[in-house]
Chain A
Amino acid sequence: MGMGRISPKRAAVVALVASSLGLVFAAYSTYDYAVQLDRQVHAVHCSFIPGAPAAADGDNPCKTALFSAYSALFRATYWGGVPISLFALGAFCFFAAFALYLAMSGSRGSRWGWPFFAAASLLPLAASVGMFFVSVTHLHTLCKLCVGIYVSSIALAASAFVGARADKREREDLATAATVPVGAPPAPASRDSPALAVLWTAGLGVAALLPALVYASALPDYGPLLVKCGKLPAPLDRRGVLKIATEKPVKPVLLFEDPLCPSCKAFHARLLDEGIYDRLDVTLALFPLDSECNWMLDRALHPGACVMSRAVICGGNGTKARQVLEWSYDNQEELEALAKQGEKALLGKIGERWGSDLAACVSSKAAAAQLNQELHLAANAHIPVSTPQMFLGEQRICDEDTDLGLKYTMAQLAPEVLR
C-alpha cells in the first residue's frame, strides 16, 4: 500500500470517529432543547469540547440557533416542535454502527456496503450545508455545537467516499489476483444483493425517526398553559403607541420592544421567519431597558435604548418606524458601542442614516413625551420589566411562548395568522 492510499478499514475508523463526534454534539444539542420543555430558563451548551459546562452568558450563538425558527420541525403541531438534532442523533447512531461493521468486515463484507454508506452520508452532509447557510444568512451567527455537527458530517462524508473508493480498488485488486482452477465447481450464488441497501435505508430511517417519535409522543399538553400569563387591564390608555405597517394584518397584537435588546431582535427575526409578523396588526410600544428614561431600572441594561426608541417614534406610524426599528436591530452592537461614547455619537449615526430631521426629532421634547407615555402604558399594563412582551389581542403571551412555543401558540390562539 502506497503512502497516498488509505485502506477501507482506516476510512471506516475515521467514519466511526466522525459519527461518534456527531452523535455527541447532537446529544448535547438535543439535551439543551429538551430541558427547555419545562418552560424554565436554562443555560445552553456552546463549546467545541464535549462535556464543557453550559455557557453562563445569557445570549450565545447556540441559544440564538436553539430559539430560531430553524431548529425544529412541526412547530405548529408540537410546543417547541421536534428538534432536528433528534434526527441527527438517531442517524449518527446508525452511521457509527455501520462504520463499525465496515471496519470489522473489510473486504469480506457486502460490496454494496461502502457505496451505500457513501450515498447515505450525503444526507447529514446536505442537512449540514443547508443549516450552515441558514446560520450564515439568517441567524448571522455560528453555534459551536452546530459547527461540531457540520464538521462531523463533512468528515463522515469524506471518509465514506474515500473508503468507498478504496474498497472498490481493493476488490478489483483481489479479483485480478484471484485464479480459478480449471474444472472447479462454480462459486455458490452470493447472497450479496443490492437489495441489502433497501434494508439499510430502512434501518437508517428507523434510527433517525425513532427518537423523534418517542420525543413527540412524550410531550406534555401545553394548551392550558398558554393563557395563564394574564391579560391587559381594561380600559388601557394607549396614547403614544405606534402602528407598524404590515402586509396582511389579521390579528391585533401589542408589542413592547427595546430597539437595542438582543432578545427583541431574535424575537422579531422569529416572527419574520415564521411568516407571522406580516399577518399581525402590530401596535408597538417602546420599552427601552435604559435608566436614562425608564424609571423602572436602576441602571442601563441597554445604554442608548432611550435614544433609539425616540428614533423609532420619530419614524412615525407606518413603514418608517418599522425600518428604523429593523435598522436598530441589524446594527445593535455598533449602536450600543456608539451610545457608550455618548449620545452625540449615537445621534450622529442616526443622522447619517436617516437624515438630520429625524435626528433633530430624536432630541425633541415631543419625542421624549411620547416615549414617556409608552412607558406609562407599560406601567399601567403591569408588564414584567423585560423585553420583548407580546399581547395577542388582550391575552399576554408567556415569555417561553414567544420563543420555542411561538408557532404552537399562534396555531392555538390565532390560527388565522398561520393560514
Chain B
Amino acid sequence: MNQRRHQAQTPFGIDADPYRDRRRRVPPAVIGAGVGLALVLCATATVGSLVRGAKERLEHPSAPAEKVAIADDAEVAYCTPEFKQVLQRVLNACGLVGGEQRRGCQPADVKTFASINDADFNALFTPLKGRGAVVLFDENSDALDDGAKKLLEERWADRKGARYFFVVARASRDGTTEGNRALSHKRANSVQFHLHEIAPDDDLDKEVGLLWLGSEFAQLPSAYCDWPNSRAGKRCTPEFINRSAFVSWVDCRL
C-alpha cells in the first residue's frame, strides 16, 4: 500500500496513470470474457439490425421494382397504327379472334372494315417485301405449282416472332367480278390447305388469316413484280401479279 501511495505522488503531484495498478488486478479471464461478450453481443445486434433492415426494405421498398422485359410476340417498325388497325379488323372479321367458325372475308367486308383506298391498302403491306412473297397461279386456276409450294413452305418456316400468317388472295380483272371473287377465295383456300399438309399439328385456325379480294379491290400494280414470287425470272404483267396470293408472317402484336 505504501509503495502504491508513493507511486501516486509524483513530482507533478498527480499520478501519470492512477488506474494502472487497479487494471493490473483485473484477471485476464475477466477481460477475455468481457471482450468476448461484447463482440458476440455486438455481432448479434448487427445481425438483428441487418435482418430488420431487410424486412423494412421488403415491406417498404424505397425504389420501384426494376422493369423487366416480358416475353411477347415480335413488334417491328412497320407495325404502324394504321397497319395494325387493318390487321386487327381482319382478325376480328375473319374469325381468328373469338373462335368463330368463319374463315376469310368477303371483298365487300374489306372495303367496309378497312375504310381505306386501294393504294393505301397496298402501301401498308410494302414493308413486308422482304418478309413475305407472292405465290402465283395460272389463269383461272387455284392450283399451287411446285414453285408455289416451295416458296410457301419457306415462308411458313420463317416464322420468327410472328403470331399471325396472312394470306391475301387476288384475281386479275379477266372474267366476271363474281367469278373472280370465287377464284380468289379458292386460291386463299389452296394456300391454307397446303399449310395444313405441311404443318398438320399446328393450330392453323388461330394463326392464319385469309383475305380474298377478288378483282375489284386493291389490285397490285406491276411494280409488285419485283417482289419475291414463285415464278422468279418469268414474264410478269399486272394480270400475272394479281393471279396470286400474297403470303407473309406479320411481326406485329395484335
Contacts and interface: CB of A to CB of B under 8 A. Distances in A.
A353 to B, nearest CB: 28
Majority SS at the chain A contact face: helix
Nearest to A89: B43
B225 to A, nearest CB: 29
B14 interface: no
B223 interface: no
Nearest to B52: A218
A363 interface: no
Given A97-B39, A296-B72, A381-B71, A210 B57 contact: no
B58 interface: yes
A385 B50 contact: no
A203 B39 CA distance: 13
B35 A39 contact: no
B47 A384 contact: no
A385 B31 contact: no
Contact of B47 (A34, A105, A206, A381): A34
A161 interface: no
B29 interface: yes
Interface string B3-41: 000000000000000000000000111011101110110
Interface string B83-99: 00000000000000000
A40 B61 contact: yes
A98 B28 CA distance: 10
B32 A385 contact: no
B32 A98 contact: yes
B71 A109 contact: no
B50 A97 contact: no
A220 B57 CA distance: 11
Interface stretch (B129-137, B155-163, B214-222, B230-238): B155-163
A237 B58 CA distance: 35
Interface string A24-43: 00010011001111111100
B47 A89 contact: yes
A239 B201 contact: yes
A100 B32 contact: yes
B119 interface: no
B173 to A, nearest CB: 38
B48 interface: yes
Nearest to A381: B71
B70 to A, nearest CB: 5
A17 to B, nearest CB: 15
A237 B61 CA distance: 36
B67 to A, nearest CB: 10
B108 interface: no
Contacts of B157: 365, 368-369
Nearest to A109: B28
Interface residues of B, number: 43
Nearest to B54: A37
Contacts of B161: 295-296, 375-376, 379
A405 B40 CA distance: 27
Contacts of A379: 71-73, 161, 163
Interface residues of A, number: 57
B69 to A, nearest CB: 4
Contact of A219 (B35, B43, B51, B201): B51
A258 B80 CA distance: 33
- Among A90, A101, A104, the one with the most B-chain Cβ atoms within 10 Å of its Cβ is A101
B43 A90 contact: yes
Nearest to B157: A365
B44 interface: yes
A197 to B, nearest CB: 13
A214 interface: yes
Contacts of A378: 71
Contacts of B116: none
A141 interface: no
B32 A30 contact: no
Contacts of B251: 295
Contacts of A98: 32, 36
A38 B53 CA distance: 8
Interface of B: 27-29, 31-33, 35-37, 39-40, 43-44, 46-48, 50-55, 57-59, 61, 66, 68-74, 157, 159-161, 163, 201-203, 251
24 contacts: A30-B47, A34-B47, A34-B50, A35-B50, A40-B61, A90-B43, A93-B40, A94-B36, A96-B39, A97-B32, A97-B39, A214-B44, A218-B48, A218-B55, A295-B161, A369-B157, A369-B159, A372-B159, A372-B160, A376-B163, A379-B163, A384-B69, A384-B71, A385-B69
Interface of A: 23, 27, 30-31, 34-41, 86, 89-90, 93-94, 96-98, 100-102, 104-105, 108-110, 203, 206-207, 210-211, 214-215, 218-220, 237, 239, 287, 295-296, 365, 368-369, 372, 375-376, 378-379, 381-386
Closest 9 CB pairs of A and B: A101-B32, A97-B36, A295-B161, A37-B54, A104-B28, A93-B39, A105-B28, A34-B50, A38-B57
Given A97-B37, A102-B32, 12 more contacts: A38-B61, A90-B43, A96-B39, A105-B27, A203-B33, A215-B47, A218-B48, A287-B71, A296-B161, A368-B157, A381-B71, A382-B70
